[in-house]
Structure 1
Amino acid sequence: MEIRWLEDFIALAHTRHFSRAAETQNVTQPTFSRRIKLLEEEMGTTLVNRQTLPLSLTPAGEEFLRLCEQVTERVRLSRERIQQIADDQARRIVVAAPQSLLSYVLPEWLARHDLTRRVEPYLRATSWLLADYFQALERDECDLALCYWPRERVALDIDLTNHESLEIGTETLVPVCAPDETGRPRFALPGQRRHPLPCIAYHPRGLIQRVIEARLTRLSQAAHLVTLNENVQTANIKELVTLGYGLGWLPWRAARRSLESGELVRAGDERWDVALTIRLFRSRQNLHPGLDALWHQLQETRHDPSLSS
């Protein structure tokens, strides 16, 4: 049974005439009559009294008419609601972010700016490298990209000609490791040339690893490290560091609770910290209807003090 059969029956009940009902349904009379007959066969009884003029409904037809009106009204309302959901989804702005920002920054930032219903996180982006975010912006796979960004000069192969950004906060990478039996760091910077410290590092082509390496080269004291593992996601690095496999640099927001509980300890003092900013990027060619208004709204707030580490 199709919804249009129910709509046909309602039209017939209102016009009490096959020809006029067929016209209102934009079909030929033979087609319309065949649909009504199929409907009666489906219901297993006669719904229309064809012996009267104008025709009338049988008692079963009157009861069925009420059901048809209820069902078609529910379908109409459902269609409207589904279309509204689709329209809302089409208007939502998609933001891509690495796992650590998605976990520790984005929810608070969206809530603070009342953007939870307007901006949708893009979960496929949590393990991307920096270049992937800008490629996604260029092909409109996402509308915004929330990224860590260096505060000091770092060579990055990123063309920002067609992009603009806003700084929304800051972050600090801190060197951490598991404690030994006395609560002291199991691996303490700077290490020794003959006995380098095991390091759980970020992906070598990722921004964070480049920033860490650039920072270390600027220090007067060299760090002696040997890389045991390279990872994209902060959560994976934190897990390996917590298990005692080596030291690693974690965003302060990701490490704070573990440091407070003693599950992790600092592997070096503030000299070894790495400063980052948190920046929101967009492509100037993006034509999303709500993006300009959102961008202007965010420009008015600029840097969010609550997002400073």
Structure 2
Amino acid sequence: MNFRYLTQFLAVVDCRGFTAAAEVLHVAQPAISRSIRLLEEELGITLLDRQKGNVRLTAEGERFARHARAILAQTRAAQDEIAALKDIRSGHVTLGAPPMVASHLLPDLIGGFLRAHPGLSLTVAQDGSEAIRNAVTEGRLDLGLIADWRSFEGVTTTRLGTYPVVACVAQDSPLAGKSAITWREFLQQPLILFPRGFYQRSQVDEAARRLGVIPTVAAEAEALPLIAKLVRDGHGAATMLADAAHSFNGLRALALPADATVPLGLCRRSGGALSHAATALHDHLTHAFTGS
């Protein structure tokens, strides 16, 4: 099977069209159309439903796309591993991380990694833990920092540590005079929450379910500076990692109950060999967080 066909097929899937994929790959659109037609003929199935300019995966295409991503990920891993055996210190690694982790736990660690491995390059993608875990499973990311280290099908996760979560309110909030609040007190405030799929959102939702409270969600956002500003301007309360909360001016951080924590883990795809670059980053992060 031609790897070029797989690359072009996935580009059409990710770009949601032949024209956009051609622009990204710098390939003529007819060439991509021909590649996918030949791929469909080789497989004996229709991968894409082309109707009125819209390109969608067929049911067979959905399944094949998962295998195609895995094949290309394994190919890249093999290429990096062979390069390492030849003592060619080059390669690229992709890492997923939730925004709060990326902003407040990673900068120094990534800097240290790049200094220790000047021949390697790195891409950090920010998303919720659920999306990151799925991307690692499908081979779209080499590694993922996820705010949950339980066992999930398709990934192997190393526990890195547990980090406290606090409630953040404006400094002129009636709650600002407290040093700690209960989940019920927090849930009675208008809330600025991460979208569903983020671990801290699931933690708030679970507390609301347990207490039988229907919270008022004033806003949902992923960007920490935006969340901090909305809280600072009095639009609601939010949860943050304690280290992150103390980095923003104008916020009052209040302790939550002991179960308000983020268990952080580093996940990789189960059953597949990591590339040289990904192995180096995995070892670097594991040692930085755990000392082992």
Flag whether TM exceeds 0.5 (same fold).
Answer: yes
SS in 2 for 1:200: strand
Partner of 2:65: none
Residues 242 and 264, structure 1, Cα contact 8 Å, conserved in 2: yes
Given that 2:169 and 2:176 are in contact with CA atoms closer than 8 Å, whether structure 1 keeps it comes out as no
Q: How does 1:235-274 map to 2 (within 5 A)?
A: 235-258=225-248, 263-266=250-253, 268-271=254-257, 274=260
Q: Could you list the runs of 5+ residues in structure 2 that have no partner in the other structure?
A: 1-87
Give the CA deviation at 1:172. 1.8
- The answer to whether the 8 Å contact 2:143/2:266 transfers is yes
- 1:98–1:233 contact (8 Å) kept in structure 2: no
Give the drift of 1:282.
0.8
Tell me the equivalent position of 1:275: 261
Q: Equivalences for 1:205-216 in 2 at 5 Å?
A: 205-215=197-207
| DSSP 3-state at the match of 1:253 | helix
1:95 aligns with 2:92: no
SS in 2 for 1:225: coil
Q: Would you say the 8 A contact 2:176–2:252 is kept in 1?
A: yes
Indicate the SS of the match to 2:244: helix
1:147 alignment counterpart: 146
Residue in 1 that maps onto 2:133 = 134
Aligned partner of 2:106: which letter? L
Tell me what 1:47 maps to. none
Counterpart of 2:204 in structure 1: which amino acid? Answer: I
Supply the distance in 2 between the matched residues of 1:301 and 1:116 (Cα, whole angstroms). Answer: 15
**1:197–1:224 CA contact under 8 A, matched in 2:** no
Distance in 1 (CA, whole Å) between partners of 2:198 and 2:100 is 14
Q: Alpha carbons of 1:238 and 1:163: their partners in 2 closer, same or farther (altered >3 Å)?
A: same
1:198 deviates by 0.8
Match of 2:192 in 1: 200
One-letter identity of the residue aligned with 2:132: Y
The 1:244/1:116 distance shift into structure 2, 3 A limit, reads farther
Question: Percent sequence identity over matched residues?
Answer: 17
* Cα pair 1:150 1:211 within 8 Å, conserved: no
Q: What SS does the aligned partner of 1:175 have? A: strand
Q: Residues 115, 276 of structure 1: CA spacing in aligned structure 2 closer, same or farther, 3 A cutoff?
A: farther
Q: Which amino acid aligns with 1:149?
A: D
Alignment deviations for residues 29-65 of structure 1 (CA, whole Å, 9 cap, x no partner): xxxxxxxxxxxxxxxxxxxxxxxxxxxxxxxxxxxxx
Deviation at 1:237, TM superposition (A): 1.8
Q: CA deviation at 1:225?
A: 3.4
Give the Cα separation in 2 of the matches to 1:245 and 1:293.
Answer: 44
Computing the radius of gyration over CA atoms, which structure comes out larger, 1 or 2? 1
Q: Aligned equivalents of 1:287 and 1:142: distance in 2?
A: 13
Cα distance change on mapping 1:204 and 1:136 into 2, 3 Å:
closer
Aligned partners of 2:109 and 2:288 also within 8 Å: no
- Give the aligned length: 201
d(CA) in 1 for partners of 2:200, 2:257: 17
Check if 1:233 corresponds to 2:232. no
> Is the contact made by 1:171 and 1:277 (CA closer than 8 Å) also made in structure 2?
yes
1:197 counterpart SS class = coil
